[in-house]
Chain A
Amino acid sequence: GDSVTQMEGPVTLSEEAFLTINCTYTATGYPSLFWYVQYPGEGLQLLLKATKADDKGSNKGFEATYRKETTSFHLEKGSVQVSDSAVYFCALSEKTSGNQFYFGTGTSLTVIP
């Protein structure tokens, strides 16, 4: 079945450091891939998405590229800020699974000044 595996946390970085959070997926068809972010005390909100192979999603300085050959969708940011401290979830949705969403376990990021 469909699933998402993401890097375990927590991750602690200094401000302006480079961020990578790894995400790999298993899917039977051609899924859409997503990164969601959850700030403390809030619900999840979409950070970026990619709907087909080689697409790059980007938002707020974050990027992720849909790599079919490695079944990956790693999240990157060149220079993190304290305000990026949150929990990040990788997810996929696929038509053959009734468009159900499959989420990874989440990776907690703390950025220190």
Chain B
Amino acid sequence: DAGVIQSPRHEVTEMGQEVTLRCKPISGHNSLFWYRQTMMRGLELLIYFNNNVPIDDSGMPEDRFSAKMPNASFSTLKIQPSEPRDSAVYFCASKRQGANTGELFFGEGSRLTVL
């Protein structure tokens, strides 16, 4: 079975540009999470969705960040405008909602560098 698929794997952009990161969760999983990982701050939860509905976006750093989940098989995380401090690895993860014993499956991450 395919795991969580993220794209792009690497993105280098200039400050002020729009960045869109994409995620395809595992089929049948109805909870989706976006995390950001940096050396300084470790792993941070940005937002998570249950059944395509955002449940908690308190981790989204500021209005420059937005996330959508238009259907069960696709989510985007957008940064507009991007800034150098947004440089990080962004992970998408999915699981079956309601299964607190269930495993959270991670994608391989999108490494973003903002110059």
Contacts and interface: CB of A to CB of B under 8 A. Distances in A.
A45 B106 contact: yes
Contacts of A45: 106
A44 B109 CA distance: 9
Interface residues of A, number: 23
A101 interface: yes
Contact of B91 (A43, A95, A106): A43
A99 B106 contact: no
A102 to B, nearest CB: 8
Nearest to A29: B100
Interface stretch (B42-50, B62-70, B71-79): B42-50
A36 B95 CA distance: 15
Contact of B101 (A42, A51, A103, A106): A51
B43 A95 contact: no
Nearest to A52: B101
Nearest to A102: B45
Interface of A: 31-32, 34, 36, 42-46, 49, 51, 89, 91, 93-95, 98-101, 103, 105-106
